[in-house]
Chains A and B, each alone.
Chain A
């Protein structure tokens, strides 16, 4: 058993190493006084100073975060009910049709989504800016969230719901006390995947934005012709470190909370047996 653990740990370490390699590479060169992503010349913090001096860039970062958080939250809520809607359909042909419709935005390249949303917004007369960007991000994040939530829902045995009903639970109670807790992991992965989609989106945001409203991805892509400067690397490093800090802090705080509540965290966290 010991030896197996060693091999499996090695595998995970390898996966993590590959996932983080490009990020570490970016972070490393953010300190390069040579100004490029090759040939490390000397250590400097100039690019970090540049970031803090650039108010426009800071506003863009905040915009990006607001859009990502709000759009993923809204998209996840809509997707939960969307998954319930898909699940509630009995006929498999109708269900497959709805599922195909759900996935249309995933298969469509961003340019098409962006262009058609732009046409849509100008037709309806939505002013391009915060609102149009938020709505678009919600729109393209919904399908991926549904894809993460739906399988959990499908695994749920109907007898569970029936049993709850028999015990006199209202529809609302069934949803809040039986269904939602069961699909919770799906909801969280849906949220995080939506966050990923939102943070990375360039093309759709580009088309539907206006009046000076911009997100980080749009800014980075439009800098490509002049060459992306290392201040963007520095900014990414800061964001990355901050996110790691948040994730770890959040995790520790929830563990503390659970420890207080049930006194036996190990069993809940699923220590290897």
Chain B
């Protein structure tokens, strides 16, 4: 009995000492001062040096909180109880947030650096006139392949169906992406809602099953870099990660067209430091800042001025900055409504169960 109460006291003492220590560290970082800005972003999706620089320039301390999926982030912001000043959701999530009235319109006068952005990345369907969002990074959906393991070049989606790839491809675990691959290979739109076309896509995908080694999430990068499969369906952001780890691999967007995605900065309704949020968005669009961030993160930047500052081997890489002829083939996901999204997921589930 005595020993148990001793352990209890010890645990409490250690906990309080640790809390005190955390408190000291927090205040030494300025996290407890009044002038703060809370940013809600993907983990490790910004160069931390830039946060320090922003703090030096403006005197605003940045609190950086992270999420791991658009949907989880959406739930958090919808439910409230949080005070995020800037968030970085993807395109379809922005459309949803806009429809559900979760965003504060941006004050374009306070974001003069908007002029640096390539006009082709502005005024897109998910946010007309960029009333609510500013592009942060963008990318495509395509195929990463290992030339040591396959001779195919994936100029066309049809190459994925090649019998030589039996049990040798990995797919990203996303209903829109996988069903979209089926649709694109048949020449249909990625935003297809025609039931007959969707069924055709599912049938086509079922023929792909023997080639599918696994359907995975973020770990697809690790697997492809390890040479675990000959090819994988991935986003270009992941592709750049993979290729920085394993230079032998290559990335291609099949010519039938594919998905174009964006991660944009928005200001949620719950924001407490709206002015600071505008300042931050403008800061991130500064050419020099943006170039530094692009080198750190490795995704494609929509910032024309920043692109000019980047070395040729980044800005001239057609795999990540494709020519306009290809970009025209790319489609942004439209919000098809909850019912259709559920239907896409049902089809995807049937495809998974078929392969299992």
Binding site for B on A (CB under 8 A): 35-38, 54-56, 58-59, 62-63, 65-66, 69-70, 73, 115, 118-119, 121-122, 126-128, 176-177, 180-181, 184, 187, 206-207, 209-212, 214, 218-227, 229, 254
Contact = CB atoms under 8 A, between A and B. Distances in A.
B18 A62 contact: yes
Contacts, number: 125
5 contacts: A55-B25, A59-B25, A62-B18, A73-B15, A212-B38
Given A59-B26, A73-B12, A176-B1, A121 B65 contact: no
Interface in B31-76: 31, 38, 42-45, 48, 63-68, 72, 75-76
Nearest to B21: A62
B15 A69 contact: yes
B72 A206 contact: yes
Given A206-B76, A226-B43, 11 more contacts: A62-B21, A63-B22, A69-B18, A181-B1, A206-B67, A211-B38, A212-B65, A219-B66, A221-B68, A222-B42, A225-B45
A237 B43 CA distance: 21
Overall SS of chain A's interface: helix
A69 B18 CA distance: 10
Interface residues on B, range: 35 or more
Contact of B42 (A56, A119, A206, A225): A225
A214 B1 contact: no
Contact of B4 (A63, A184, A222): A184
Nearest to A220: B43
Contacts of A119: 79
Contacts of B237: 225
Contacts of A66: 15, 18-19, 22
A122 B81 contact: yes
Contacts of B269: none
Contact of B1 (A180, A210, A254): A180
A224 B43 contact: yes
Contacts of B76: 118, 206-207
Contacts of B15: 65-66, 69-70, 73
B334 interface: no
A118 B82 CA distance: 11
Nearest to B222: A37
A56 B218 CA distance: 24
A226 B245 contact: no
Given A59-B22, A73-B12, A221-B68, A226 B45 contact: yes
Given A62-B21, A62-B22, A73 B82 contact: no
Contacts of A58: 25
A206 B79 CA distance: 13
Interface string B203-244: 000000000000001110110011000000000011001000
Given A206-B67, A223-B44, A224-B218, A121 B81 contact: yes
A22 B29 CA distance: 35
A208 to B, nearest CB: 9
B83 interface: yes
B122 interface: no
B152 interface: no
Contacts of A223: 43-44, 66
Contacts of A73: 8, 11-12, 15
Nearest to B84: A210
B34 to A, nearest CB: 13
A32 to B, nearest CB: 12
B80 interface: yes
Interface string B9-25: 00110110011011001
Contacts of B217: 224
Contacts of B48: 54, 56
A227 B81 contact: no
Contacts of A177: 1
Contacts of A63: 22
A62 B81 contact: no
Nearest to A254: B3
Contact of A227 (B29, B221, B226): B221
B347 interface: no
Contact of B226 (A38, A62, A70, A214): A38
